[in-house]
Amino acid sequence: MPLSLVGVGGFRLGVDFGTSHTVAVLRWPDGRARPLLFDGSPVLPSAVSAAPAGGLLTGRDALYAARFRPEAVELHPKRCVDDGTVLLGDAEFAVVDLVAAVLRRVADEGVRVSGAPPPTVVTCPVSWGTARRALVAEAARRAGLDLAGLVTEPVAAASYFAEAGGERLGPAAAALVYDLGAGTFDASVVRRSPEGFTVLAVEGLPDTGGLDIDAAVVDALGEVYASRDQARWHRLLRPATASDARDRWLLWTDVRTGKEMLSRTATTAVPVPLFDDAAALGREELERLARPILDRTIRAARAALDAASVKPAELAGILLVGGGSRMPLAASLLHRAFGVAPTALEQPELVVAEGALYATPNPAPPYVVLPPAPVQDRPAVDPARATATLPTAIPPAATPPPGPAPAPPPVDRMSAPDDPATAAAHTATALAEPKPTSAPDAGPSPSPSPADDAAAEGHPATAGAGTKAASVKAELATEREQAPAPHEEAATVDGAAAVDGREGMRPGARSGRRGRGRTYKMRPKRRPRRRWPSSRRPRKPKTGAGIWSRSR
- Could you report the per-residue pLDDT of 441-496, keeping only the tens digit for each? 444 444 444 444 444 444 444 444 455 555 655 665 665 555 555 444 444 434 44
Query: What's the rounded Cα separation, in Å, for the pair 176 and 244?
Result: 44
Q: Write b or e for each residue in 201-229: b if 16 or more Cβ atoms lie within 10 A of its Cβ, otherwise e.
A: bbbbbeebbbbbbbebbbebbbeebbeee
Q: Residues, the chain, total?
A: 552
Q: What is the pLDDT of residues 213-257, one digit of tens each?
A: 999 999 999 999 999 999 999 999 898 888 888 899 899 999 999
Give the model's pLDDT for residue 118.
Answer: 94
Q: Where are the domains of the chain?
A: 1-165+349-369, 212-288
Percent of the chain predicted with pLDDT > 70 = 64
pLDDT higher than 80, residue 542 = no
Q: What is the pLDDT of residues 509-525, one digit of tens each?
A: 444 444 444 544 555 55
Query: What's the rounded Cα separation, in Å, for the pair 421 and 414?
Result: 17
The string of DSSP codes covering 156-196 is HHHHHHHHTS-----TT-EEEEEEE-SS-EEEEEEEEETTE
pLDDT higher than 70, residue 130 = yes
Query: What's the rounded Cα separation, in Å, for the pair 425 and 399?
Result: 49
pLDDT higher than 90, residue 36 = yes
pLDDT higher than 50, residue 387 = no
Dihedral angle at the C-alpha atoms of 135, 138, 139, 145, nearest 10 degrees?
Answer: 140
Class of domain 212-288: alpha beta
Residues 6+ positions from 529 with CB-CB distance below 8 Å:
none
Give the model's pLDDT for residue 530.
Answer: 54
Query: What's the rounded Cα separation, in Å, for the pair 131 and 366?
Result: 9
pTM of the predicted model, to two decimals? 0.64
The three-state DSSP-derived secondary structure of 408-450 is CCCCCCCCCCCCHHHHHHHHHHHHHCCCCCCCCCCCCCCCCCH
Pick the CATH number of 1-165+349-369 from 3.80.10.10, 2.60.40.1510, 3.30.420.40, 3.40.50.1820: 3.30.420.40
Query: What's the rounded Cα separation, in Å, for the pair 9 and 26?
Result: 12
Mean pLDDT along residues 547-552: 39
C-beta neighbour count of 154 within 10 angstroms: 29
Q: What is the pLDDT of residues 170-189, one digit of tens each?
A: 788 899 999 998 888 999 99
The string of DSSP codes covering 457-514 is TT-GGGTTTHHHHHHHHHHHHHHHHTPPPTT-EE---TTPPPEE-STT--TT--TT--
306 — pLDDT class (breaks 50, 70, 90): very high
Closest CA to 43 of 95, 88, 102: 102
Q: Give 126's DSSP letter.
A: T
Comparing 425 with 381, the larger pLDDT belongs to 425
